[in-house]
Chain A
């Protein structure tokens, strides 16, 4: 049974607070984002939070598994830092950092099966890492050498979506198809707090509820849609919307990798048993800019950022490992080496990506050739060929 997080009597009060919060931009005072009433299994200080409902969902997470999760968190943070550096060095055109959201992404992605399918936004690079996406493929889009990096069918993850919320409908369609095919595979739609205002997300909830489609709507409420605080998208907790669609929902501490695993497993289990979609709101915080082009100093209150820095998703696992005596020098060194190695591979892969051949511009627009496009391709080929003959531009000027 899932929790109900809003008491009707509190609604009016919350709405008033939300207005104030939206106006002031003080996100942490907003009832849509505040950190109470969340499923939590691991507190920021690394102590375990007792929860008889959700603990059983992660009871198989033993010492080795904890260390592996810790390595994931360290590696994806290291990759994020490397990609940001590559952008600053002019090697990537843009990068959307996930700093602060590592636990939400790793915790949810690591409990998926190979035959489940992820439909994500562009910020889910830790999910991509967990799905086994090649690190060079991960940066192709951001270097501008391709519009997508990997084969979706090879890793069970669609090409990330830039149009906000559009992928939730794709997840729903995939899930409807999965039921037709008689499998118990599940589609997971990743999106942010801003996306919940989009019609597509709401329509996806309507369709998935009506068709009892096996979808997990995994909303990372990172508090920001570029500069807009979540209070502008919602005057009540985002998770409260789902029950109106007939979809059970749960709010989880998105910086707690164990709690995220637990709620995601519960949602996956419901979906596999034919009980339809679940909405997970992972309450987290975007510690960096929207993208490397953004300047959060124009809208983020440094005090809020400090509050969230104390809730860091990686530190709390580190503290847990320390408490349980699992973080010796050997582990620390191995994890650091894994992270540095991944960063080196990403960098080398990035630097090796070159601009595609010019006429590939015309490839893959249609499955079967289009006479119209073939004509443009052949005319542009003739144009390019002019510059390949003779001694270049001067000769062309003469030819004109």
Chain B
């Protein structure tokens, strides 16, 4: 596995006169392998944007090491910047220029042929609105311009911070398809997003950050498996047999939760459940593994699941090993 992005022990503390010290990154680690679509998740204020901005030379880190495409950054960022396309946070462009002007000025500044401008405008679906001023664009259209600007230099690594922000459902699907096709062409994509369903669908691996530290990382399936209390839903032909079944499974060493019309059996193989019940003359009508999704893992790991009657504050997340 060749890593195109490596971050080790990255730290950053903001110091302001008004708010004092605020630690945004506290020894954060991340690795993104070449050719994968990597999801970068974290609650608001967890340090995602600080990480991306630090990686791209916009913010000076207090400590740690970073490498982009094998080169140490920020020391040799200028050498690899031409191979990295990025958008950070919400798209911001000079409102009185058209998308075409904006992109052609960037192309000129980066020695990219202007013919590429038309190609990326076509790619993000802005061909027919390219000559309109950006101030007339919706948030989703500005987002498309941002993605177009990142794609302009045919990057090897594409870093996108909330690319689906403001997009309509069709736009989100287009963006997903675009990511997939870029990844299929060999581009590595680092995708920061809050749309966890999207991340789960298109990402090969993820890193989850909370309060400036990595709380989970790895292939999506592994993260789901490692952080889910896997259980199996069991129904019987006769609901009256459920107490007997619960007793039998408990007696055989299983952890059982009884519910009115089914049982939940924790962390056991379905075959063991079937055999245990059949040995006692109980026959299963439904045996379904309860799957967890990325959203529930994310909420669990970051401690940001909503609680009825409570208004969670932005920085109320968890750190590794305990609650903040």
Partners in one complex: no
